[in-house]
Each structure stands twice: as C-alpha cells, then as structure tokens.
Amino acid sequence: MTLSGKTIAVLGGPLYEDLELWYPYYRLQEAGAVVKIVGMQNGPDLVESKHGYPAKIDINAGDANPDYFDGVIVPGGYSPDHLRRCAHVVGLVRALNDQGKLVAAICHGGWVPISADVLRGKRATAFVAIKDDMVNAGVEWSDEEVVVDGNLVTSRTPADLPAFMREIIKKLS
C-alpha cells in the first residue's frame, strides 16, 4: 500500500517521546508519504526529545496551512504540554479535524486534541496518567492498544506503535 500524494504533520515540541515521533515519521515515509515536523509558532527550530535526540522543525504551526495536510500525529512525552499552549498548534489540529482529516495521538499526545476540543463524544485512549483529562474532555475511555473513532486514532504507549501505525495507514489509504 502506498501513501504517495499524502502529506502528514507530526507535531514536534520540547521533550517529545523519541519513539512516538520517529517511528511514525519513518514509517509514513516508507509508505510514500511526505512528512513534515510541525513546531510551535515562535518556538525553537530544533527540539530535543526526552533522551536528547534532536528533531528539526520543518514548519511552524502558524505557517502550516491545514489544506496542505492530510492529517496530524501528536506524539507523547512532555511535548504535548508545551504544544497545547500554542494557539496555532491547537488551531491546526482543530482545522484538520473540522475537515474530517486524520487526527492521531499517542500517550500524552491526547492533551493537544483535548485543548483543540475535538474529543468530546468520541471513543479514545491514551496513557493512563491522562485518563481523567480525557474523560473530563468528554471522551468515552477505552483501555485498548488502539482506538479508532471516525477520523480519530489514539493509542497508549510506545508498545502500541505497530497497531497505531497500522490504523493510521489504513485511514490514509
């Protein structure tokens, strides 16, 4: 299966979870998609992971046109707590959701779609530490390796990445 012609935003912020950014980044490229790391408006051009691995920001969220992207992936780690404070990041996620495009989040990544108010009434999962946040945002919580509800794909931890990416690729195909 090929994702040729698809362009995906992967959000990158300080202290991202290494595997949750790089596994989707390379897996989507392998499938033929163009992948752009999107950072915070007025944020750094280079962000480091929890383990110090750098990621170069390709485009700032304020310059990212939602019409250009077929979806967004929100990795976990501590970056979602930074990313959700950026109105342009939240706006991008909301716009992609409003267009019915893929919104995918793993681990603590669920914080960004919470801030974009796109989870209300949806079935989803995340790392157990943010279960209360998800439920309080109107999510029907499910503790599964991957949960798909319409254009939304969510997973819990790096161990869920194979299932997470399998469903993302299905959605984009």
3-state DSSP call for residue 97?
Answer: helix
**What single-letter amino acid sits at 136?**
N
Kindly give the pairing relationship between strand 54-56 and strand 46-48. Answer: antiparallel
Asked whether the beta carbons of 142 and 3 are under 8 A apart, the reply is: no
3-state DSSP call for residue 164?
Answer: helix
d(CA 121, CA 124): 10
Question: Residue 127 corresponds to which tokens in the numbers above?
Answer: 């790392």
Point out the catalytic residue in the list 82, 86, 88, 108: 108
Nearest to 44 by CA among 77, 69, 79, 68: 79
DSSP 93-141: HHHHHHTT-EEEEEGGGGHHHHHTT--TT-EE---GGGHHHHHHTT-EE
Asked whether the beta carbons of 41 and 86 are under 8 A apart, the reply is: yes
> Catalytic annotation on 107?
yes
> Catalytic annotation on 108?
yes
Active-site residue set? 107-108
